C-alpha cells in the first residue's frame, strides 16, 4: 500500500512523505437503509470527508450508486474482493454498516487493510468481539470509532455538561426509554444469528441515556425481557426493561422495545430535573430544565456532524469522541443484561 493510503498507517516514513488530504475518502460497507437514506445523503453535506467507495453484495445496487454518486468502478467492491481495498489510496476510512454479527469480520479486515474504521452501533454481539476489533485496530495502527451520532449532538452534550457541573447537585434517578413499533416480520433485527434483538439496537440508546446523564458506569443491573408477538420475535426479545445502579447511588429505570413508540430521558437531581424528548431522534433532541433553561441547539444533520468530527480527529490525530472502547463499555452492560434475564437475578458489572 503506497501514497496517501498510508497517511495514517504505522509506517512513519510513508506517513511523513504522503500529501495531507483536505478530505478523507469513506467507503460504506453495506448499502441498507441507514447507508442509503442517511449516511450517503449526509456525505453530500460534509466538509472533511466524502463518499469515495462502496462495498455491496448486490450488483444492481452497485450500478445504482455508481450512477447516482459518480463512484468510479475501481472504488466499488463486493464482500469477496474487499481485501483489495488495501491498495486503493482513494479510501482512507471504511464505515461498517452491516448486521452486528458481521461487524467483527469486516472491522478486522479493514484494519488489516490499513484503513481507519467507523462501525455502526451496536458495536458487536459480544465483549469478546469488541475486544478483538479494538485489538486489530491497535495492532494495525489505525483508529476505530463507533457511530454514536447522538454523542455529537449539542443537545446531548448539554445533558452531559449538567452532570459534570453538578448544576442541580447529584443525579438521583433517571428514566430512559427508546423504542419504536417495527412492523417488519422478516428482518435481521429479529434473527439471533445476525445479532438481532432490541437490546443491542434501540436498547443502546436507552443505556447511553443513563450512562451519559450520570457520567458514570453502572455497577449492577437487573433485567426482564418480554415479547408480545412471539410469531415474529421467536429468537430474540421484542422488549427489554432494566434497572441500573451507579457508584454514586444514582439509579436508572430503562425501557426499550420494537413494539412500543417511546423516546425520552428524564433526570432527577438533588435540586432539580432535566427532560429530553426525543433523546435519540435523527433530527436532533429537545428538552428543558427545572430552572427554565431550554435545550434546543440547532443541528443541521447528526450524521454529517458525526462524520466530519470523526474525520477531523483522524486528520489531526486527536482523540475520537466515541472510540471502540466506548462501544465496548455498552456491550459489557448488554451482556450483563442478558445474563440477568437468564438468571432472574441482579448481575454485577
Active centre residues (catalytic)? 121, 205
Give the H or E element holding residue 213: helix 202-214
Cα distances (angstroms) measured from residue 169 to each of 176, 199, 248: 19, 30, 12
Residue 171 φ then ψ, to 5°: -75, 135
N- to C-terminal Cα separation, the chain:
42
**DSSP string of 128-195, one letter each residue:** HHHHHHHHHHHHTT--EEE--GGGG-HHHHHHHHHHHHTBTBSEEEEEEEEEEE---SS-GGG-GGGT
Order of strands across the sheet with 116-119? 76-77, 49-55, 24-29, 93-96, 116-119, 144-146
Measured between alpha carbons, how far is 207 from 265 in angstroms, rounded to an integer? 11
Number of other CB atoms surrounding residue 175 within 10 Å:
18
The span from the CA of 220 to the CA of 246, in Å, is 7
Asked whether the beta carbons of 49 and 23 are under 8 A apart, the reply is: yes
Kindly calculate the radius of gyration of the chain based on its CA atoms and give it in whole angstroms.
20
Output the nine-digit C-alpha cell for 131.
Answer: 475486544
| CA atoms of 189 and 138, how far apart (whole Å) | 30
Helix-helix angle 324-343:127-139, to 10 degrees: 160
Query: DSSP assignment, residue 323?
Result: B
Amino acid at each position: 500500500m503506497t501514497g496517501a493510503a498510508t497517511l495514517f498507517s504505522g509506517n512513519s516514513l510513508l506517513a511523513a512523505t504522503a500529501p495531507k488530504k483536505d478530505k478523507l475518502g469513506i467507503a460504506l460497507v453495506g448499502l441498507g437503509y441507514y447507508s442509503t437514506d442517511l449516511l450517503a445523503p449526509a456525505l453530500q453535506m460534509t466538509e472533511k470527508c466524502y463518499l469515495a467507495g462502496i462495498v455491496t453484495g448486490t450488483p444492481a445496487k452497485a450500478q445504482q450508486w455508481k450512477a447516482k454518486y459518480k463512484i468510479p468502478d475501481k472504488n466499488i467492491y463486493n464482500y469477496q474482493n474487499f481485501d483489495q481495498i488495501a491498495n486503493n489510496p482513494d479510501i482512507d476510512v471504511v464505515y461498517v454498516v452491516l448486521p452486528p454479527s458481521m461487524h467483527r469480520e469486516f472491522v478486522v479486515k479493514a484494519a488489516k487493510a490499513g484503513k481507519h474504521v467507523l462501525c455502526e452501533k451496536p458495536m458487536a454481539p459480544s465483549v469478546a468481539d469488541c475486544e478483538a476489533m479494538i485489538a486489530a485496530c491497535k495492532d494495525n495502527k489505525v483508529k476505530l470509532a463507533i457511530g454514536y451520532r447522538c454523542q455529537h449532538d449539542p443537545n446531548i452534550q448539554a445533558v452531559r455538561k449538567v452532570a459534570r457541573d453538578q448544576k442541580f447537585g447529584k443525579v438521583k434517578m433517571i428514566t430512559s426509554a427508546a423504542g419504536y413499533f417495527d412492523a417488519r416480520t422478516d428482518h435481521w433485527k429479529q434473527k439471533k444469528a445476525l445479532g438481532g434483538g432490541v437490546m443491542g439496537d434501540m436498547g443502546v440508546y436507552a443505556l447511553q441515556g443513563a450512562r451519559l446523564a450520570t457520567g458514570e458506569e453502572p455497577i449492577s443491573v437487573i433485567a426482564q425481557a418480554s415479547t408480545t408477538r412471539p410469531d415474529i420475535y421467536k429468537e430474540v426479545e421484542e422488549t427489554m426493561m432494566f434497572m441500573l445502579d451507579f457508584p454514586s447511588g444514582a439509579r436508572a429505570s430503562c425501557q426499550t422495545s420494537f413494539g412500543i413508540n417511546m423516546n425520552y430521558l428524564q433526570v432527577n437531581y438533588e435540586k432539580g430535573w432535566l427532560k429530553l424528548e426525543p433523546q435519540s431522534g435523527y433530527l436532533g433532541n429537545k428538552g428543558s430544565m427545572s430552572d427554565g433553561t431550554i435545550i434546543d441547539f440547532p443541528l443541521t444533520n447528526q450524521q454529517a456532524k458525526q462524520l466530519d468530527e470523526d474525520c477531523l480527529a483522524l486528520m489531526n490525530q486527536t482523540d475520537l469522541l466515541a472510540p471502540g472502547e466506548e462501544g465496548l463499555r455498552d456491550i459489557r452492560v448488554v451482556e450483563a443484561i442478558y445474563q440477568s434475564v437468564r438468571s432472574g437475578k441482579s448481575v454485577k458489572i
